[in-house]
Structure 1
Amino acid sequence: MKNKEIKILLAAPRGFCAGVDRAIEIVKKSIEKYGAPVYVRHEIVHNKHVVESLKKIGAVFVEELNEIKDKTRPVIFSAHGVPKVVPAEAKELKMDYIDATCPLVSKVHREAENLNKSGFHVLLIGHKNHPEVIGTMGQIPNGSIDLIENIEDVNKFEIKRNGKLAYVTQTTLSVDDTKDIINALKEKFSNIKEPKKEDICYATTNRQAAVKKIAKLCDMFFVIGSRNSSNSLRLVEVANNSGCSEAVLIHSESSIPLEKITKCKTIGISSGASAPEILVENFIKKLKEQFSVNIEEVEIIKEDITFKIPGRLN
């Protein structure tokens, strides 16, 4: 098998985005400043490798604040954002909290709040039970926001209240799927207010565009990421929809389908916004043990965006 030659098209940009970088940095700096343990509500980002490496240096992950025994320790809110009741609960418990919500998610939160204050009923395009969706819906009162997951939901939705309607979107959706839902909304509700600037984040858009560019040239496409990572799952869908007959998510428990790869001439690789580059390197290393590999990186855009961490941690 070693002599079998395989071409790898490596999508760029891939992997960590600025929001993920910032969230991980916030956990590390908090441990440096306050010592261990530092608590983190929910996985800081959706990646097992990242979570395990932060546990090793003193991060303790919980789902809810009431699981924290020592309320004198700081707690960090994950990059996905939290409903308003969470910081309110932390204040009530007199807990010191640090918010690692991605600034692009915070932008959607503020948008939903401002729309609500201006008397709009808000529709959130997103996936049910995703932490980002729970966080955004929790910014404004119950009954003033509805979730739209697909075109069927658009067809079923009827305007309540005063007829003023607006939409926002989860930041990690498929650009193409969202476009179809937005078109359906505009067709049904011609006066619907749209965001000034698209909510889907730059990193999601760039990673999907890079996959789209190379997927049709590949016999198989591999996305390195976690099963609960929305943006990783969307990359698999994008590869499938862009002309690659088989796209596969490689997560922490995956075994590499070497038999199938043997039948390929060209494979594509990308990684979700919460997957560290070491996982891509390890994947390629395993392929090199079996095949003669020729790698070509296909970069569609250079990313140089960074987000500041809270001043108190500097």
Structure 2
Amino acid sequence: MAGGDFRPVYHPAGLDNDLRAAVQDLRTGRWLSMARLLERTDGWGLWTQRTQVLAAVAAGSDVVQAWRSEQPTSMAATVMHTRVAVERAVRAHRAGHPRTHELWQEAWQSCRTTAGLSPADPVPWVCLLALALLDEDRLMDEHRLAPPGPMLPPGPWGILAQADERDPHNREAYHRMLQFVHAGAPGPRPRSEAVNFARWAVAGAPPGSAVHLLPLYVHVERYRREGGQERALDLHWVAEDAIRDAVHALDAWFPYADPAQASPLDLNHLAHALWGAHRFEAAARVFDAMGGYWTTLPWAQRTRDPADPALAEEVFLRARSRSLAGGN
């Protein structure tokens, strides 16, 4: 795997073989593998992750609608319907589509309905956190609640609490909340608020929680906003706080993680942070755990053109090669 002929593969399922098979069937318009996969998925964390990946693939087709027509009483199909509705609303908002508000309202209502039908499921609440990003002016009361601690901004804390109650430290819930914080007005304040949120979240997370990686995402976003890749000499990744956060994530999360069930983004962010911190032997362990799978982020942010995946792959391969060689 360390040879010069190695080429990484991108797949949203990463090392989750069962999810990869369901995604493949989903792309050909078949839903049965998805239904069977979700039926045997154990644990809210994995349930959340798999439904998120499946919805991103299904949002461009009517395959979930076909599933609901065939199995109208399936709760998994109902959850996936909500997932797809939210994904479509978020995409419409990102593209500035004229139907964004209509899709947003439909998705919001679907979240509330599904939350009532499946009260133990965190996914409807995670989806409501995703929709909070569409409320750019923070007009809804539920998106302006007082925070649970000092140095934190107002936000959809009640929704996060509902997700937390059902699946404590749910990875996607905390990432959605971080995105909400980052979406604040431009300037230094959102960055400091994001740092404060990540520290607050990490402080309450148990060993093995993917929440321990949140600071790594904050560093990447800060680097992007500050145009770090444009500097002749960049010391961001060897700064004391960056090294501390990378080592903490390695110690608090990686020994407990099952790569087959871990988010590919988390594995890539950890490998990237350790490589940037010159912790090459530790980074090599993460690269080994990733197998042949990678994600364009965060590597793309280290290039002159983040929109070019070929440049991101070059950075990934360079980091991987140097780490596996022990930094030599």
TM over 0.5: no
The structure with the greater share of residues assigned to strand is: 1
TM-score by length of 1: 0.32
Larger radius of gyration between Structure 1 and Structure 2: 1
TM-score by length of 2: 0.31
The structure with the greater share of residues assigned to helix is: 2
